[in-house]
Amino acid sequence: MKRDQHQNGFSMIELVVVIAILGIMIAIGSPTYLKRLQTQRLDAAAEQIITHLHQAKQRATREHRPYRLNFGEYENGYYMERLNDNAEWEPVQAIGHDDAGNRGAGEYLLYLPPTVRVSYADTFVVFNNRGYAEPSSIQNMIEVSLPNTPRKKYISVSIAGFPKIAKEER
């Protein structure tokens, strides 16, 4: 029998070479992709906290009552609270994310993106009924970090109640 000179398809050697090249490209690109993913999570968490600080300031001004963000009770989230008529802090319903990243209205706990951690020395950032930050709230910065990485962002709040990213560590 005579072999056809023009066979369709690829030889086994060609397939192995292509798979090896793809493997090398993935091995080179994976650390960069994972680092970028971590950076995006950290950025998203910092922006989310700044957004909620703005919301607390706006609500305090609109409702003429103190509001605060409470960072002290949960590792993967925090609460927005207001001072009620009985001079007690109560959680406020807000839009947040659960552990799976789903958004939902009516939740009290404001979730952080997965693996992001927040620490704050005073536990509370308090806005008075005019939207100004209480003096104890401006003395320390909110630290947003990822475990096992040196990357951190620090959020400060001015006496006028405006939050901003004060510095970053890489």
Instruction: Compute CA 36 distance to the chain's CA centroid, rounded to the nearest angstrom.
Output: 14
* Start-to-end C-alpha separation, the chain: 68
d(CA 170, CA 167): 10
By C-alpha distance, which of 116, 142, 146, 108 is closest to 45?
116
Structural domain spans, the chain: 12-169
On whether the pTM is more than 0.85, the answer is no
- Looking at residue 104, what is its pLDDT? 47
CB contact set of 26 (below 8 Å; sequence gap of 6+) = none
The pLDDT assigned to 138 comes to 80
Residues (pLDDT < 70) of the chain are: 1-7, 73, 75, 94-107, 170
Helix segments in 64-143, DSSP class H: 135-138
* E strand intervals along the chain: 67-70, 77-83, 89-91, 94-97, 103-107, 109-111, 117-119, 124-127, 142-145, 152-157, 163-169
Counted residue by residue, the chain has a size of: 170
Predicted pLDDT at 60? 94
Say what the pLDDT of residue 105 is.
45
**CA–CA separation, 114 vs 124, rounded Å?**
22
Which homologous superfamily does the CATH classification assign to the domain defined by 12-169?
minor pseudopilin epsh domain (3.55.40.10)
